[in-house]
Amino acid sequence: MRLGIRIFLVYALFIGLTGYFVLGTVMKEVRPGVRQSTEETLVDTANLLAELVREDVKAGTLSQSRLPEVLKAYGLRQPGATIWGLPKNQVNNRIYVTDAKGVVLLDSSGEAVGQDYSRWNDVYLTLRGEYGARSTRSDPQDPDSSVMHVGAPIRDEGHIIGVVTVAKPNSSLQPYVDRTERRLLWYGAGLVLLGLLFGALLSWWLSKSLRRLTDYAQAVSEGRRAELPKYRGGELAQLSVAVEHMRTQLEGKAYVERYVHTLTHELKSPLAAIRGAAELLEGDMPADQRRRFVGNIGSESARMQQLIERLLNLAMVEQRQGLEEHALVSLSDLIEDTLAAQRARIESRLLRVEQQIAQHVTVTGEHFLLRQGFANLLDNALDFTPLNGTLRFTAERVSAGVEVTLFNTAEPIPDYALPRLSERFYSLSRPDGGRKSTGLGLNFVEEVMQLHGGELRIGNVEGGVVVRLVFPR
């Protein structure tokens, strides 16, 4: 299982458990919270009524007062109110008054007048000077039929002469409880989903970041060029730096070993030729032979110098993982500079040069590397172009980007050699003397093109050979 999925599952489990326990706790507190706030309102109402009926209870004229008519009218009222989106079309409070013995003197419902309520807690505790309240089911078999009762004492000169009780059925509060619970569930589910979405995005980002680093390490292990992922601080940035440092250390050691072996192998032949010529020069020989062997020593020394220089340039390019600059480079100016450096050689071979690249055609890249790459390309073309041959540079925009072509008059390249031309140290015999080059020029060009995200293509055409360099947009 992928690391990102594991992180997401752990995060989802945490969010799920947290949401379950938090929502469960809050849901359990909704109903008691609503009832507690309602009870506080009933306490205020009961105490207000206790003051209003005190004089009538004291005088024994409660039944002859206007209060019974008021309570009856109160019970018939239709408020027509809308409370937080819920309609309220009737009053639900029941009010009754008892005397000092607990006998009901007045009841807004008209059901309990004359009955003894002294055993109910709202009356019993209030008559004893305590806080009197109770919750009683109107239907013993129905838990939703409970009614809250809150009593308040009627006092006269410090003595309790009666009790006023205000009762409210919990069923009238249930719509508000249900609505609050529904909203909590929706909000809770929304927060959980939002948390899961955030967790999924976090897991995706972390997995993507690690996958980029993994792909980079995989590419390096396979010898492919890859750009080091960049992170903005934190452990990922430290890990990226550590991986790059490890790559540099390991690759540098292997790279040096490989180049030492390569250089040793390639220098064997010219060193053997120089040593043989030197040994022969120690003896007596005609002057023309001496000059020939001295010339051999000079040519082999030049060959070794060229080999070392090209190996150093190739090593510099191969070690690069990306470009150090991204500048607009004019292809026309670049080709002109390259041709100028080889002007003497071109004129000595009486070659016809056609430079057909417009001034406005540019590519993005590193000028120094492009200059070196075109120099190697032109040098290779000159080796195979016969006297009075043609060199032609062109450029055009294609769907992939910009394609630069170099055509030179030459014999067709053998089919077996075409796929190997850019291999290191692979070279064909030159037509003018049969000797081979270092076999590093086209390999260098291919490395430069890869650094620029482009492609090197070589093929035969009518009358010669064409090299195509395709630069991306």
Helix (H, G, I), strand (E, B) or coil at 399: coil
Q: Is residue 198 part of a domain?
A: no
Q: Is residue 345 part of a domain?
A: yes
pLDDT of residue 3: 67
Which residues in the chain land under pLDDT 70?
1, 3, 220-226, 244-270, 272-273, 299-300, 302-303, 306-324, 432-439
Of 156, 165, 196, 180, the C-alpha closest to 13 is 196
Domain stop point among 321, 338, 371: 321
Q: What are the distances in angstroms from CA 228 to CA 206, 244, 326, 428?
A: 16, 7, 17, 37
Q: Does 103 lie in the same domain as 19?
A: yes
pLDDT of residue 91: 83
Q: Is residue 464 part of a domain?
A: yes
pLDDT of residue 162: 94
CB 149 within 8 A of CB 137: no
CB 163 within 8 A of CB 126: yes
pLDDT of residue 245: 65
Q: Looking at residue 260, which CATH number applies to its domain?
A: 1.10.287.130
Q: Would you tell me how many other CB atoms lie within 10 Å of the CB of residue 287?
A: 7
Q: Looking at residue 108, which CATH number applies to its domain?
A: 3.30.450.20
User: How far is CA 108 from its chain centroid?
Assistant: 68
Q: Is residue 128 part of a domain?
A: yes
pLDDT of residue 419: 86
Q: Note down the domain range covering 229.
A: 225-321
Q: Which two tokens stand for residue 153?
A: 């004492």
pLDDT of residue 118: 92
Cα gap 227→309, rounded to integer Å: 26
User: How does pLDDT run across 67-85, given as a tens digit for each residue?
Assistant: 888 888 887 888 888 877 7
Q: Does 281 lie in the same domain as 326?
A: no
Q: Is residue 185 part of a domain?
A: no
Q: Does 52 lie in the same domain as 20?
A: yes
CB 170 within 8 A of CB 147: yes
Cα gap 116→125, rounded to integer Å: 14
User: How far is CA 139 from its chain centroid?
Assistant: 60
CB 64 within 8 A of CB 83: no
Q: Is residue 360 part of a domain?
A: yes
Q: 133 Cβ partners below 8 Å, 6+ apart? A: 39, 121, 122, 125, 148, 149, 150, 151
Q: Does 447 lie in the same domain as 300?
A: no
Q: Does 301 lie in the same domain as 328?
A: no
Helix (H, G, I), strand (E, B) or coil at 213: helix
Domain stop point among 143, 178, 213: 178
Q: Does 344 lie in the same domain as 297?
A: no
Q: Does 41 lie in the same domain as 162?
A: yes
Kindly report whether the global pTM for this prediction surpasses the value 0.75.
no
Cα gap 80→231, rounded to integer Å: 63
Q: Which two tokens stand for residue 432?
A: 């003018």
Cα gap 463→466, rounded to integer Å: 10
Q: Which two tokens stand for residue 46?
A: 């009961």
Q: How many domains does the chain have?
A: 3
For 319, what's the count of Cα atoms within 13 Å in the CB-facing half-sphere?
Answer: 17
pLDDT of residue 46: 92
Q: Does 124 lie in the same domain as 19?
A: yes
